[in-house]
């Protein structure tokens, strides 16, 4: 059974850093495209970042230069390093498995972890 | 970037009636190479993550009830929920995956019971 479990969220001051983790089971993270999607309180879904099987990474303009997506093959875990955090980064962050290169829709989602950026 | 819009923002439907949600993309998401529309639909119930309902604009994900159907092509798409059930109360999002990055979502349509 495919499972994605996010962790690492919490309350952080503006300008601070946080690393989110997404532990996967039932499949191999490095063999799949993986992504982070966030949802600000009461708002819609916003794609944040994606990592391809070959290791290429892409980011939304809103986080480019501040966030870094990565994975650890030995731990079968996806990460999102978030630096220079802003109030507008406050959101529930979901990790999601992408179906594949030919079709970048999300067929599995974690339950999310809440990041609150506030002083 | 492809911008996705949805209408209406919200709708109230009686139990057993039909709900229709529209999604429009700022440019076509139809591929001329495989004649597929790169469009997915998700359902998000309160306090839960999104759930994939439909991909390729009209292919139902395994386990999704057949009262959910997707249609449309090019820039205009529709999610139809036939015979609305109480458990269908949710926000529904469309998403394009034709030109990425970025992957873009519609703003969502909230469906509740009249």
Question: pLDDT digits over A16-41, tens only?
Answer: 999 999 999 999 999 999 999 999 99
Residue B27 has pLDDT above 90, yes or no: yes
- Interface size A-B, in CB pairs within 8 Å, comes to 60
Q: How confident is the model at residue A94 (pLDDT cuts 50, 70, 90)?
A: very high
Residue A3 has pLDDT above 90, yes or no: yes
From the list A107, A48, A96, A110, the residue with the least C-alpha distance to B54 is: A107
Query: Closest to A58 (Cβ–Cβ): which among B48, B61, B101?
Result: B101
Q: What is the reported pLDDT for A39? A: 98
Residue B81 has pLDDT above 90, yes or no: yes
The answer to whether A41 faces chain B, any CB pair under 8 Å, is no
**Strand A67-72 with B90-96, pairing:** unpaired
- The token duo for A111 is 């339950």
Residue B85 has pLDDT above 90, yes or no: yes
Q: How confident is the model at residue B21 (pLDDT cuts 50, 70, 90)?
A: very high
Residues B40 and B4: beta-carbon distance below 8 Å: no
From the list A37, A15, A27, the residue with the least C-alpha distance to A119 is: A15
For chain B, the C-alpha Rg in angstroms (whole number) is: 13
Query: Closest to B49 (Cβ–Cβ): which among A46, A105, A109?
Result: A109
Give the model confidence (pLDDT) of A37-88 as tens digits. 999 999 999 999 999 999 999 999 999 999 999 999 999 999 999 999 999 9
Distances (CA, A) of A108 to A14, A53, A71, A90, B113: 31, 16, 17, 23, 27
Residue A93 backbone phi and psi in degrees, to 5: -105, 120
Q: How confident is the model at residue A100 (pLDDT cuts 50, 70, 90)?
A: confident
Q: How confident is the model at residue A102 (pLDDT cuts 50, 70, 90)?
A: confident
Using CB atoms and an 8 Å cut-off, which of residues 78-97 of chain A contact chain B? 94
The answer to whether A60 faces chain B, any CB pair under 8 Å, is yes
Give the model confidence (pLDDT) of B39-70 as tens digits. 999 999 999 999 999 999 999 999 999 999 99
Helix (H) or strand (E) holding B69: strand B68-73
Tell me whether residues A103 and B55 touch, CB distance under 8 A: yes
Q: What is the reported pLDDT for B4? A: 98
The answer to whether A52 faces chain B, any CB pair under 8 Å, is no
The answer to whether A114 faces chain B, any CB pair under 8 Å, is no
The residue with tokens 């394009």 is: B96
Residue B88 backbone phi and psi in degrees, to 5: -90, -5
Residues A77 and A20: beta-carbon distance below 8 Å: no
> Going along A1-119, which residue ranges are E strands?
3-7, 10-12, 18-25, 34-39, 45-51, 57-59, 67-72, 77-82, 91-100, 103-109, 113-117
DSSP string, B79-112: EEESS--GGG-EEEEEEE-SS-SSPEE---EEEE
The answer to whether B51 faces chain A, any CB pair under 8 Å, is yes
């Amino acid at each position: 059974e495919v499972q994605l479990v996010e962790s690492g969220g919490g309350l952080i001051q503006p300008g601070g850093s946080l690393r989110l983790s997404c532990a996967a089971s039932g499949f191999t993270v490095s063999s799949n495209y993986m992504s982070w999607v966030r949802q600000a309180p009461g708002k819609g879904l916003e794609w944040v970042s994606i990592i391809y099987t070959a290791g290429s990474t892409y980011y939304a303009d809103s986080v480019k230069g501040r966030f870094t997506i990565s994975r650890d093959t030995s731990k079968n875990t996806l990460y999102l390093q978030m630096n220079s955090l802003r109030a507008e980064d406050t959101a529930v962050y979901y990790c999601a498995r992408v179906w594949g290169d030919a079709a970048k829709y999300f067929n599995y989602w974690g339950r999310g972890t809440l990041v609150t950026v506030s002083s | 970037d492809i911008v996705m819009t949805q209408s209406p923002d919200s709708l109230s439907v009686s139990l057993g009636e039909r709900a229709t949600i529209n999604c429009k993309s700022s440019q076509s998401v139809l591929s001329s190479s495989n004649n597929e529309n790169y469009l997915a639909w998700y359902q998000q119930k309160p306090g839960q993550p999104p759930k994939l309902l439909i991909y390729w604009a009209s292919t139902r994900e395994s386990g999704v009830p057949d009262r959910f159907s997707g249609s449309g092509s090019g820039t205009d798409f529709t999610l139809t929920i036939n015979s609305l059930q109480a458990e269908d109360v949710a926000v529904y999002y469309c998403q394009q995956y034709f030109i990425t990055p970025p992957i873009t979502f519609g703003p969502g349509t909230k469906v509740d019971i009249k």
